[in-house]
Structure 1
C-alpha cells in the first residue's frame, strides 16, 4: 500500500467495528452458536442424561404397577427298577430304561396396594430428577453459548489487533522509504536509516506474532464448533455492546432463573422427598398376591399313574412391617434430614457466590466502559498526532525518535481501546450468563 502523499489519518479510518470483505464465509455469532449446540459432545451427553431421567419417570418405576412373572419347567428322566416282595405275594418287578417326564408352568403376581405413600413420593422424586436433568442441560447450553460468544469476540479482538499492527507497519515502511531516500541523496543520516529499518523489523515481528495468535484462536473456535480445524471464515468485526446493564435487575433475574441455582433448589426438593421416602419405610406394606400353576406328569413305568395334569389358582394379601432393625431405620431418617439441611446450605452458599460473581463482573464491566470513553479520546488525539508528526518529519522538523514515539502511542491507544471494548463485552456476556438470560 502506497502511503506517500496521502493523509496519514487515512490509515486509521478503519476504526473498531468496520470489517473487510473477501471470498471467505462470514460467520455470524448466531450461526456459530447453532453449530456449537448441534455438534458439541458435551451438549449431546447432557441431553442423553436428561433422556435417561425422563425414561426413569414412570409409574412402573415408582411401584404403582404390579409385577408379573411367568415360569415354566420341563424335566425328563430315564430310570430302572428292581423289586422283590415279601412272602411271594407278587412276582419280582424288574424294569430298566423307564422313561418319564414332568412339566410345570405358572404365573405369579405381586401388587403393592399400600406402602405408606412411598410410591407417590418416588413418583414425585423421579419428576424432580427429570427436572434436574433439564436444568443441568440448560446449564451446559448456557455455558457453551457464553464460551462461543466470548471466543467469537476474542477472534474479533485478535483481528482488530492484526489490522492495528498492519497500520503501524505501514507507517514504519513509509518512514523507512523516506529515511532511505534521504540517506541516498545525502540529506539524512545512516543512523536514521538504520533506526527506521530496526523499527520496521520490530513492527513486522509484532505483526507476525499477532497473526499467529489470531490463527490459533480461530483453530480453537473451530474445535469448539466441532468442525475441521482449518475451516476458513470471517467474522463481523464489530464489538457491539448492549445498552448499559443494571446490577439490581441482573441480581433479581439471577435469583429467579440462573440454571445452576435452580438445579440446586431442585436438589433440595429431592432431599426433602428422600426424608419422606425414608419415613414411609416405617409404615406397613400391603401387597396383593395371586398365582396360577399347572403341573403335567407322564410316567413310563407299568404301575401307578400313567399321565396326569393338575392346576391351582391362589390369591391373598400379604402385610409386612419393620418391627425392629437395630435402629437402622431411625438412623436413615436422621441422615436424610441432615442431607436436606446440607442441600439448603448449598443453595444459600450458591446464592452468596452468585451475588459475589455478579458484583465482580459488574465492577469489571463498569471499569471497561469508563476505559472505552477514555481510550476513545486518546485514540482520537493519537490519530491527529500521527498526521502532524509525519508532516513535521517530512520537512525535517521532527526527528525519527519523535515520529516513532507518536507512532507507538497511536498503536498503543488503539490497542487499549480494542482491549477495553473486549473486556466490556466479556463482562457483559458473563453478567448475562450469571443472570440466566443468555438463552
Structure 2
C-alpha cells in the first residue's frame, strides 16, 4: 500500500464525495478508511498481538497475596490432669489473623511454554495475513464496482447516440411526409423506435443508480449519497502469467493456510507436553497471628519466608492426553490438505482468469474496429434513407448493429479489466 493512500485517509474529507467527481484513488482511500471488515481484521490482529506474550504462555512468574482476619466469640471448656488448669468460660473473644505473599515459576513442563509462545507468534502473523487478504479483497471489490459504474454509463452513451439517430430518422420522415414522400406507417414506426430507446435509457439509468449504490456500500457511505463518476476503462496489457505464478506463494490466503499448519503442529507439542512431569519453584512470606482471651494458648504468632519445589508427575489420566495428541496430529494433516486444496483452487482460477484476460485483450482491438465500422454504416444508411435510397428497416438494422457493437466493446473492456484486477489480487499486486 502506498504512503499516499494512507495519508489520504486523514486528508480527504468525506463530504467532498458529494461535491466533486469521485476518482478511483478517492474511492480506494475512502473504502480503506471506512471498511468495517478491515476494522474487524485489525481488531483481531490487535487481540493476537496482545496475547503473544510469555505470561500468556505460562512462562513468567505468578505472584499473589492473601490475607484473612476472623473475629470469633466462643465457649471454652478445657480439662487437664492438673485440675487447677481447668478452664470453662463463655463469650471468649478470639482473633485469627493470617497474611501471606506467594510466588511461583514454572521450571519445566515438557517445553509446553515454548510451544505455546511459538503458537501465539504464528497466530499474530496469521492475523496480519488475514488483514492483508481483507485489504486486497476490498481493493478488488471497489475497483470492480467502480468500473462497473463506468461500464453502465458507457452503455447509456451508446443508447443516447442511438436516440439521436432515431430522432433524426423521425425528423426525416416528418419532412418527407410533409411533401408527400412518406406514409404514416413509417412515421408511427419511427416514433415507436424513439419511445423504445427512451424506455431503454430510463431502464439503464436505474441500473447506473443501483451500481452506484453498490459502490457506496463498499465505501461504507450512505446509500443515497450523490457521487459523480467520469472515467474510462484502461486495461493494463502487461500482466504476465509467470509473474502471478511466482507471487502465488505470497498470496495472504495461502500464507495464512500455511501458518495454520504450523499452528496445529505447535498444538500437538502443547498436547504432548501434558504427559511430562511439571516442576515449579515456589517461594513466599507468611504471617500468622492468633489471640484468645482465655484458654491454654492466649497468643500464637509466627512469620517468615518459605521456599520450595513442587513436582507433578502425570501417571494415568484415562489416556485422555494421548487421545488429544492423536486428534491434534489429525488436525495437522487436515490443515495441510486444506492448504493444498486452496493452492489447487487458486492455481486453477488463476489459469482460467488469465485465459479470459488474454482472450478479451485479443478481441478488444478487433471489436474497436467493428464499433467504428458500425458507426460509419449507421451514418451511411441514414444518409441513404434521407435520399430515399434506404428503407426504415435498414436504418433499424444499422442502429441495432451499432448498439450491439457498442455493448460488445464495453463488455470486452470491462471483462479484460475485471480479469486484470483478479490476477493482481491473486498476486497481491493491488495498490
Common fold, TM-score beyond 0.5?
yes
Aligned position for 1:373: 365
Q: Is the 8 A contact 1:257 1:437 kept in 2?
A: no
Matched, 1:268 2:268: no
Confirm or deny: 8 A CA contact 2:264 2:328 kept in the other structure. Answer: yes
SS at match of 2:69: strand
Match of 2:279 among 283, 286, 295: 286
Say whether the 8 Å CA contact 1:83–1:94 is kept in structure 2: no
- In structure 2, the partner of 1:277 is 270
For residues 381-420 of structure 1, what are the structure 2 equivalents within 5 Å?
Answer: 381-420=373-412
Matching of residue 437 in structure 1 with residue 418 in structure 2 = no
Q: 1:64 to 1:427 in 2, by over 3 A?
A: same
Partner of 2:3: none
Q: Which residue of 1 aligns with 2:308?
A: 316
Alpha-carbon displacement from aligned partner over 1:361-399 (angstroms, at most 9, x marks no partner) = 112112211221221111010111121111111111111
For residue 237 of structure 1, what is the aligned residue in structure 2? 231
TM-score, length basis structure 1: 0.89
Distance in 2 (alpha carbons) for counterparts of 1:29 and 1:302: 89
Find the residue that maps to 2:247 and give its secondary structure: helix
1:259 paired residue number: 252
Residue in structure 2 matched with residue 32 of structure 1 by the alignment: 27
1:73 aligns with 2:68: yes
Deviation at 1:102, TM superposition (A): 2.1
Paired residues of 1:264 and 1:346 also in contact (CA < 8 A): yes
Task: Name the residue aligned to 1:142.
Answer: 136
Counterpart for residue 213 of structure 1: 207
1:245-304 alpha-carbon deviations (Å, 9 max, x no partner): 2112211111x21111000111111122222222333332211011221122343x3555
Paired position in structure 1 for 2:8: none
Question: Comparing 275-284 with 351-360, which one deviates more in the overlay?
Answer: 275-284
After TM superposition, the structure 1 stretch with the greater mean CA deviation from structure 2, 258-267 or 110-119, is 110-119
Give 2:113's aligned residue. 119
Q: How far, CA to CA, are the matches of 1:192 and 1:85 in structure 2?
A: 134
**Distance (Å, rounded) in 1 between the aligned partners of 2:366 and 2:37:** 41
Cα deviations by residue, 1:36-79 (Å, 9 ceiling, x for unpaired):
11111111011101111100100111122111111111212233
Query: TM-score normalised to the size of structure 2?
Result: 0.90
- Contact 1:368–1:420 (Cα < 8 Å) also in 2: yes
Q: What residue is the counterpart of 1:247 in the other structure? A: 241
| Alignment match, 2:189 | 195
Gap change, CA 1:188 and 1:244, over 3 Å in 2: same
**Hey, what does 2:353 align to over in structure 1?**
361
Q: Distance in 2 between matches of 1:173 and 1:91?
A: 126
Where does the alignment leave 5 or more consecutive residues of structure 1 unmatched?
1-22
Distance 1:238 1:71 in 2: 72
Query: Do the aligned partners of 1:25 and 1:232 also contact (CA within 8 Å) in 2?
Result: no
Q: Does residue 48 of structure 1 match 2:43?
A: yes
Alpha carbons 2:76, 2:295 under 8 Å: kept: no
Superposed CA deviations along residues 79-130 of structure 1, whole A, max 9, x for unmatched, are 355789999958985544x433222111121110122222111111110010
- Mark the runs of 5 or more structure 2 residues left unpaired by the alignment: 1-17
The equivalent of 1:7 in structure 2 is: none
2: CA distance between counterparts of 1:93 and 1:415?
109
Contact persistence 2:371–2:402 (CA under 8 A): yes
Instruction: Report what 1:422 is aligned to.
Output: 414
- Structure 2: how far apart are the matches of 1:181 and 1:132? 74
Task: Give distance in 2, aligned partners of 1:306 and 1:33.
Answer: 80
